[in-house]
Amino acid sequence: MTDLLTVDFMQRALVAALLVGTVAPMVGIFLVQRRLSLIGDGMGHVALAGVAIGLVTGTAPVLTALVAALVAAVVIELLRTRGRTNGDVALAVIFYGGIAGGVVIISKSPEGTPANLMKYLFGSILTTQRTDLYLFAGLALLIALTTWVLRPRLFAVANDEEYARAVGIPVLPLNIVLAVLTATTVVVAMRVVGLLLISALMIVPNAASQLVARSFSSGLRWAIAFGLVSSVGGVALSYPLNTPSGGTIVLLAVGLFVVTAVVTGVLARVGGRRHDVAERHEHEHGMECGHPAVPHGDHVDYVHDGHLHAAHEGHYDEHGAHHHEDSLAGLDGGSAPDRTTSTRGTRP
């Protein structure tokens, strides 16, 4: 690993990976929430046209890609709001037009070799220039700050757009901001992840995080953690393995998702066996049910005829007898001796 850090281009690639791994899942969680998981993919397609124009005209491809992606972002969001019927088809036309235009224009440029095209499409650790890195760092900081500042509002709009509109939250401007953040992320991630795989780094870490998270804020933290492990790990691995960095990063992210799914699945099964459902209830425990409330770890239990009830997915779980802390361990065995069989209709 110390070897890796001494190589100049590796340092740059790792810094870029750090930036991308943090920023992509931050923006991605709102795309997942709005069920727009594939929109980043489309913006990547359009960004390729921007890269091509940059290569042909001799301008920095990063800048032209940024301009193309930003224009696409605004047009897409306006189409989504205005066009009621054929918005979906219009998006497809823009996306495929972008990538087809990109491929054709690049072929006319002196740098338009298949190998060069592959680097842009699937990422390469060799392509991050020093000047790019400053721009990426600036853009990443801008994305992270904007997302952090607007997070409550972006969450509200993505959670319930109609409600947000009714209470006067500026829905369209916020959606355009999210589209612009997505486009900017696409460009920042272009070098290391590649234009065809960028969307994966926005979405896959979130897919994994949703398996473990219990709230939106913990979901965001887990997604950033998964994103960082995938992007930095993927770049580090792609050097000794001599593989395209984008593909390596995304495979690592998918691997993390699969492992997380298996682990949470197994844990749920083990937990399910220990899980002991209480008798049917005629009422709902709460402030006014008359049953004493007892804090128990991260939740509240209610003392119901000497044993503890905890709310769980529309029913109540037995959390053992009251005043017997050690009786919780007894739940593994499946039957605590002091559990009453029926207390139906015991509403005080």
Partner 1 sequence: MLMRSAPLVPGDPQAADAVVALRGAGFGYGDRPVLSDVDLTIHSGEIVAIVGPNGSGKSTLMKGVLGLNERTSGSVSLFGVDSGDFHDRARIGYVPQRHTLSASVRATAEEIVSTGRLARVGWLGRLRAADRQVVARALEVVGLTDRASTEVSTLSGGQQRRVLIARALAGEPDVLIMDEPTAGVDAASQHVLADVLERLVERDVTMVIVTHELGALERLLTRIVVVDGGRIRFDGTPQEYAHARDQVHHDHDSHHHDHELDGHASLAHGPFDTTHSEGRRP
Residues near partner 1 (CB under 8 A) are 29, 32-35, 149-153, 155-156, 159-160, 162-169, 206, 210, 213-219, 282-288, 293, 298-300, 311-314
Classify 344 in phi/psi space as left (phi over 0), alpha (psi -120 to 50) or beta: beta
Rg over alpha carbons for the chain, rounded to the nearest Å, is 26
Smallest distance, partner 1 to C-beta of residue 300, A: 4
Q: Given the complex with partner 1, which of 136 and 226 has the nearer CB atom?
A: 226
Smallest distance, partner 1 to C-beta of residue 210, A: 6
Q: Given the complex with partner 1, which of 116 and 210 has the nearer CB atom?
A: 210
User: Of 143, 164, 165, which Cα lies nearest the Cα of 152?
Assistant: 164
166 burial (CB, 10 Å; 0-12 / 13-18 / 19+) is: exposed
Beta bridge partners of 303: 308
- Is the Cβ–Cβ distance between 143 and 23 less than 8 Å? yes
Smallest distance, partner 1 to C-beta of residue 270, A: 19
Cα distance between residue 27 and residue 182, in whole Å: 6
Q: Given the complex with partner 1, which of 151 and 324 has the nearer CB atom?
A: 151
Q: Given the complex with partner 1, which of 1 and 167 has the nearer CB atom?
A: 167
Q: Given the complex with partner 1, which of 5 and 286 has the nearer CB atom?
A: 286
Distance (Å) of CA 324 to CA 81, 320, 331 = 58, 8, 12
Smallest distance, partner 1 to C-beta of residue 221, A: 12
Smallest distance, partner 1 to C-beta of residue 286, A: 4
